[in-house]
Amino acid sequence: MAFLGSAVRRVVSAVRPPLSPLSRTTARSYSSEPTSEKSVPYEKTLKQEVGKSSGPTKPLPKSAEAVVIGGGSLGCQTIYHLAKMGMTNVVLLERDRLTAGTTWHTAGLLWQLRPSDVEVELLAHTRNVISKDLEEETGLHTGWIENGGLFIASNKQRLDEYKRLMSLGNVYGIESHVLSPAETKDLYPLMNVDDLYGTLYVPKDGTMDPAGTCTTLSRAATARGATVIENCPVSGIQVRTDDLGVKRVKAVETPHGTIETSCVVNCAGVWAPKLGEMAGVKVPLVAMHHAYVVTERIEGIQNMPNVRDHDASVYLRLQGDALSVGGYEQNPVFWDEVSDNFAFSLFDLDWDVFTQHIEGAINRVPVLEQTGIKSTVCGPESFTADHKPLMGEAPEVRGFFLGCGFNSAGMMLGGGCGRELAHWIIHGRPEKDMYGYDIRRFHNSLTDNPKWIRERSHESYAKNYSVVFPFDEPLASRNMRKDPFHQVHERLSGDVYYLAIGGAWQNTTGTTSEPFFRMKASLPANGPL
């Protein structure tokens, strides 16, 4: 029996734990192939026995008002909302089967509270679609489980942040409660509360089932006239130039035929950049490994809320009578060579990278130290430079829309963003203020700069659970920006910090220095110049 605690001790002692007992993923047979990645020795590839060789599941129409490419959360939500808004001559193309790319292995968590009012509204719509609308329309249960969510605060600063979230949630009628450590212990008896400052409890948070949700969405869309075609990869996108010199989408090419259309929606996840290249559109996202482990049965964990411990950078998702443990590492593994044949597939888990989550989980729920690991799940996810999705019409080609780069939150945001994307396509603009998600927020000099995208995406991933401070500035790729202090920084030799003490400027060695910058009144009282 392999335990979480022993996994930590083995990695700390620089001995990689054997993967065979820790990765007992039942009902799957993998074939291992070498990859070029240094930190992951093998890429596990699972090819479906039923699928590509059988051809498209339905005949391709000759034309469509819109073609959605990608059968994951966003693709299914988008075609569902397009059909619901009256655009019935729409087609969804999936190269393998629904959820085959990144959606199938997602944790499926839904937290209702976010620091943005627009995101709170988007999440509320997703929850409404998953928990109510789809079941009423189809009579099918999507797999929604309402077991609540618990945000952990290990310091006053974090609890203050949660109180701000609670205030915002009150505006939208989201029930939440700030709990003391003792109240938290009553709610979650297996939790260690000795180092807690408090928690925020949201009773109506929950989890979604990716397969059940996407299947139900596709059936609801099909019932309204939409067409969902699986086992049909896209091989090209035709673009024409109109009389004014504007590039516009003309058609979508597949090995099984061509669909004439003036609108393409790129919901291809980590494969979105390749799809964008077919139309001459730059899609600024990168693919990374994102992982969690599933534990053996834990007595007493049933019906407990999901936990998000931001300071430990870990989440604990209830999975029946077990837990899924995951989070965001400081040193994520990039997937540089995105494979077109990667469907329902996983990577080997890099324990050197993942160990920090186990340590945080054991601290929060000590019984995990003696709990076995039933399976590991490490799959690809798409991430962006500011940890926000890429949506809207691409500036390079009219009629080419983006719905990708969801930073492992595609299930959570899918309903709200699918509705906004459908509104964008039909009416020319979204209903809500979606500028923070609009692809046009990035200048073309940035969307075509792989180094900037990679560095900023890495930092955004690592800081995903960090406290958000006012005027916070990213550290990655700062040398690209020439701000007013740029020349001052260049003139400095080394890292020299100045303090304003009693009106006189002193450097960190304590010796007096003449002020070399005359606009000192506009500078902060203390800190680097």
Q: What is the pLDDT along the chain (529 residues), one digit of tens a residue?
A: 456 666 555 544 443 333 322 333 333 322 233 333 333 333 333 333 334 457 999 999 999 999 999 999 999 999 999 999 999 999 999 999 999 999 999 999 999 999 999 999 999 999 999 999 999 999 999 999 999 999 999 999 999 999 999 999 999 999 999 999 999 999 999 999 999 999 999 999 999 999 999 999 999 999 999 999 999 999 999 999 999 999 999 999 999 999 999 999 999 999 999 999 999 999 999 999 999 999 999 999 999 999 999 999 999 999 999 999 999 999 999 999 999 989 999 999 999 999 989 999 999 999 999 999 999 999 999 999 999 999 999 999 999 999 999 999 999 999 999 999 999 999 999 999 999 999 999 999 999 999 999 999 999 999 999 887 777 777 776 555 556 666 676 666 554 444 443 444 444 444 444 443 333 334 444 444 3
Beta bridge partners of 491: none
| 3 state DSSP class of 520 | helix
Cα three-residue angle 405-409-413, rounded to 5 degrees: 95
DSSP string, 424-463: HHHHSS-SS--TTTBGGGS-HHHHT-HHHHHHHHHHHHHT
Architecture per CATH, domain 66-441, reads as 3-Layer(bba) Sandwich (3.50)
Contact present, 467 and 161 (Cβ < 8 Å) = yes
Locate all alpha helices (DSSP H) within 280-350, ordered by sequence.
Answer: none
Of the chain, the end-to-end C-alpha distance in Å amounts to 55
CA pair distance 201, 113, nearest whole angstrom: 11
> Contact 351/378 with Cβ under 8 angstroms?
no
Nearest to 294 by CA among 190, 380, 374: 374
Question: Kind of pairing, strands 264-266 and 400-404?
Answer: parallel
* Whole-number Cα distances in Å, 241 to 262, 444, 505: 12, 20, 61
Q: Rounded to whole angstroms, how far apart are CA atoms 239 and 389?
A: 25
Phi-psi category of 112—alpha, beta or left, where left has phi over 0 and alpha has psi -120 to 50? alpha
- Residue spans of the domains in the chain: they are 66-441, 478-523
Q: In what order do the strands lie in the sheet with 90-93?
A: 227-229, 90-93, 66-69, 264-266, 400-404, 390-393
463-466: long-range contacts at Cβ-Cβ below 8 A with a sequence spacing of 24 or more? 463/387, 464/328, 464/387, 464/407, 465/308, 465/310, 465/311, 465/313, 465/327, 465/328, 466/310
Residues 233-262, buried b or exposed e (16+ Cβ, 10 A)? bbeebbbeeeeeeebebbbbebeeebbebb
SS3 content of the chain, % helix, strand, coil (to 5): 30, 25, 45
In what order do the strands lie in the sheet containing 526-527? 504-507, 498-501, 526-527
CB distance 436 to 118 below 8 Å: yes
Closest CA to 409 of 322, 483, 333, 308: 308
